[in-house]
A and B are shown apart, each in its own frame.
Chain A
């Protein structure tokens, strides 16, 4: 292994100071001369035929400027996501309560909101569907295509019926999970600024600046080179700023195009709840079969996601869920069928884990049940069946190196004191304590279903003062991309870390690099930076060598490049001096880089083949206390271990882990978005509760770094694995503590209590 100066160290975050001092400029913080403000007019009902939209009353609000409807769209009224069924603004039918029907532009945000509330929509209500399972029934009201199915996948291997017939042990269960709201602290927002010559610059809080580019160009009917997207400092994403910021930015751009003035559109929290993407509610029926030795022989899954009114990202969320639906085990016979169903509710989309946490909750809960039937400890049972290097996944993909799952399980087992605790749950008074386990894997990057987007660019520019500027196409949203990518650039160039700056994304400076999702940024942008920096590195290193030999260094010794200094035979020269010399020699000190993910072989027909290029892994143990009188669960501690390849910045990785765990725990226990008859009941933080400091468990986190040869400095992907296995670990712990098997998330006290009453 090479000696590294910057990669693998907890170097300070590049953006910490501007954020801690309040100087960082988020979208809402930017001002432009002559700027107007927009506010959305929203559909009041689940499904309506729009008869007319009138701004007669709104016009009386001081500062009112104009109403923007679909008639103002100069481009194509189809938002280009995956399937293009979502109009920028509806023309006849609005398909969920909260959908933007029109926009009002006014002189201030207050005036725009006031005026928007006075716009009158005349409509006729249409029959609607709010339950995904009912949507799939024959005879359901048709709201999407011919059968309300947005998307569907299969994985079929071996003979599942035969395996179940011969099995020594079988389990089956139905599980469900509710929505999760991203609850990024910064709501959605964008500012569109018209440019001379008919162009548009868009400042957007987004994970995916190139999705914004696609959408704004489509809405305005502009060629891409007339649209520029500048990502603003982004106050959290978690998937919630993957697709929908493109819609918000397009709305701002339509208003700016119509008025010829800069227009700011910042969402309030309530409308953000009502109209922006969510984690899909999930429903699954899962069954496993095992032989008498406790080896899993078959898995059958039917998995349904509630996609909401438009397809948005449902097809790829569902596909990821499909691939991972059976869990990280060797299973020879598999039958997985999955569906994303349309309903007249908010379109669900990307959320950390992307279709996996819902099904992981189901299958990891059942794995515990299966272990119980086989008379084995849940950890022993998992160890018998886990995927190890050389094994094949349910899609028959052979895992090569960089698969440390068994070691993760052993690490968590040991650190949590599993062997002592699991067999002996304790009851003290009304409080029962227990411990639960889960294991998960996660395909890093976009995989076979997203392969056309799985590439990334980078631009590295070494100025003559030796400061380094790096442009990438993936976004900082809090996870630490600007820092990690600067470490990779500094390492490759042997430039001092302090001298490297990675900029927020400017769509005009780098080619389309796909979305900032799927834990792909370190891998994709990191590799693109290395490709860009490598030729510069060669020039810098050659120049350093010639400078050192010119200084009389002993050329028989090896030149050492470390920490921004080059040294050889007792002489040394800093990066700064070498760069100055490179410039005086007129060497090329700026380069573009590109990285495209390797090929995958997955077949949609039977779900066989390599689905993802590489996987990250997690193991979790949760220790809980359940109040037997009330069913209230408190998570005391979570032990987790991850194999995400080489850790580029341990402190940031720990932050990702702790944050991901708490998000997973919060979803598992508290977060409960309620719809009644197609209307969201609790679109606010008063009634939709997320974890606070008082709920935080103790964390014990271990990284086992199995190097990935293709990754930048052997890294894989970090962002999502910490969340995926938390809910089933907590559910299994509740079962261990008090015998209650709760099959629906959130694991609310009343559900636990009900199971306890059943005895």
Chain B
């Protein structure tokens, strides 16, 4: 198979790469780019651990091919930053509220929440609950996750 000449933006930087056209987006991110914050939890789009932002929308990177990134902008958990270049507001609220336990689902949850708040800055608790149904978490019982997203929403809108 001929390699594909991929042009895209990853976490704010322009990038050109030759990749096998059969490469999944998740494998591209983890293996080719070495960005290990994006996790594989199920490999079939059920758990949300591999969520990344593609042109600002949350997608399951295990269900996409890397070639679909062509001409687009990818943001992974490593690319989410606060205005000062430090922690992103959602990262802060997840830490403060105790929404992080084993942490394996955390990057995906933060990415999903960021996509929601960009799309719907005044998302209600019900909106947040519905949006995050695609992100499985086995540790927290979700209570603190929801309060972390609500807190970040309120701070953003303050």
Contacts and interface: CB of A to CB of B under 8 A. Distances in A.
B78 interface: yes
A563 interface: no
Contacts of B5: none
B124 interface: no
A384 interface: no
Contact of A20 (B106, B142, B143): B106
Nearest to A110: B27
B81 to A, nearest CB: 9
Contact of B102 (A236, A268, A690): A236
B106 A19 contact: yes
A25 interface: yes
Nearest to B41: A185
- On chain A, which size bracket covers the interface? 35 or more
A677 B101 CA distance: 38
Interface stretch (B53-61, B65-73, B128-136): B128-136
A694 B130 contact: yes
Contacts of A233: 103
Nearest to A697: B141
Contact of A477 (B87, B102, B134): B102
Given A183-B138, A269-B43, A696 B129 contact: yes
Interface string A653-691: 011011111110000000000000000000011100010
A658 B139 CA distance: 8
A196 interface: no
Contacts of A28: 36, 39-40
B75 to A, nearest CB: 12
A651 B146 CA distance: 15
A22 B138 contact: no
A686 B46 contact: yes
A185 B130 contact: no
A20 B47 contact: no
A22 B38 contact: yes
A269 B41 contact: yes
A23 B87 CA distance: 12
Contacts of B15: none
B95 A185 contact: no
Interface string A157-192: 000000000000000000000000011111100000
Interface in B11-25: none
Contacts of B78: 21-22
B138 to A, nearest CB: 5
Interface string A461-479: 0000000000000000111
B77 interface: yes
Given A23-B37, A185-B138, A685-B46, A658 B143 contact: yes
B104 A26 contact: yes
A92 B80 CA distance: 53
Contacts of B135: 692-693
A615 to B, nearest CB: 24
B136 A185 contact: yes
B41, B77, B96: residue with the most chain A Cβ atoms closer than 10 Å: B41
A229 B3 CA distance: 40
A396 to B, nearest CB: 37
A19 B137 CA distance: 14
A419 interface: no
Contact of B103 (A20, A658, A659): A20
B64 to A, nearest CB: 17
Contacts of B133: 692-694
B8 interface: no
A187 B105 CA distance: 12
A185 B142 contact: no
Contact of A479 (B49, B91, B101, B142): B101
A12 interface: yes
Given A693-B145, A696-B141, A21 B132 contact: no
A25 B95 CA distance: 18
B43, B130, B141: residue with the most chain A Cβ atoms closer than 10 Å: B141
12 contacts: A13-B95, A19-B103, A20-B94, A28-B36, A183-B136, A185-B39, A268-B43, A658-B142, A685-B42, A685-B44, A692-B134, A693-B129
Interface of B: 27, 34-44, 46-47, 49, 76-78, 87, 91, 94-96, 98, 100-107, 110, 128-130, 132-146
Interface of A: 10, 12-13, 15-26, 28-29, 31, 110, 182-187, 233-238, 268-269, 477-480, 651-652, 654-655, 657-663, 684-686, 690, 692-694, 696, 699
Given A182-B138, A269-B41, 15 more contacts: A13-B98, A16-B103, A19-B106, A20-B87, A28-B40, A31-B34, A233-B103, A234-B102, A238-B138, A269-B42, A478-B139, A659-B141, A685-B44, A693-B129, A693-B142
